[in-house]
Amino acid sequence: VICHPKYQESKRIAIFLSMPDEIQTEEIIKDIFKQGKECFIPRYKPHCNHMDMLKLSSAEDISSLTLTSWNILQPSDDDSAREEALAGGGLDLIFMPGLGFDKKGNRLGRGKGYYDTYLERCMKHPSGKPYTIALAFREQICESVPVAENDVQIDEILYEDC
């Protein structure tokens, strides 16, 4: 990931905070700050499919986040001091989680459509759609995954031996 040309050229990067069954992103987040890039993480709104990408000030900033009912760390709802990526300069790159992927760029998420809805909003931003990279285990690569009309394809999937 760290040697990837899209990562190297990107300044504003969104990345998920890993759940136990996902690729662990802690070292990538540390590198984002080490390289002087800006790091944004998801804040999900429960009971709808709205998500914002909010800026982290440092890798250590993660320890100040609250744990949701889904067992995900994220900025609290009343945290209004953080920059939202689309309120500023947009994003260059989004690292995406998922449950399954196919080699055509289709992604099976957890069923709420958070990333698809967010990417639709990105397309309306002056900086346009960021490059999207899914981080996956080899076992998550399928022949095909089910897609819906509003699903947004990802640009690339990184997995071991790809």
Q: Which residues are annotated as a binding site for ATP?
A: 107-115
> Annotated binding residues for substrate, as ranges?
17, 22
| Residues 59, 31 contacting (CB under 8 angstroms) | no
DSSP conformation class of 85: G
> Annotated binding residues, as ranges?
17, 22, 107-115
Tokens 């993660």 sit on residue: 62
| DSSP string computed for 107-153 | EE-SSS-HHHHHHHHHHHSTT-PPEEEEE--GGGEES-----TTPPP
What do you get for the CA distance between the two ends of the chain, in Å? 12
Query: Distance between CA atoms of 15 and 114, rounded to whole angstroms?
Result: 14
Phi and psi (nearest 5°) for 80?
-105, 5
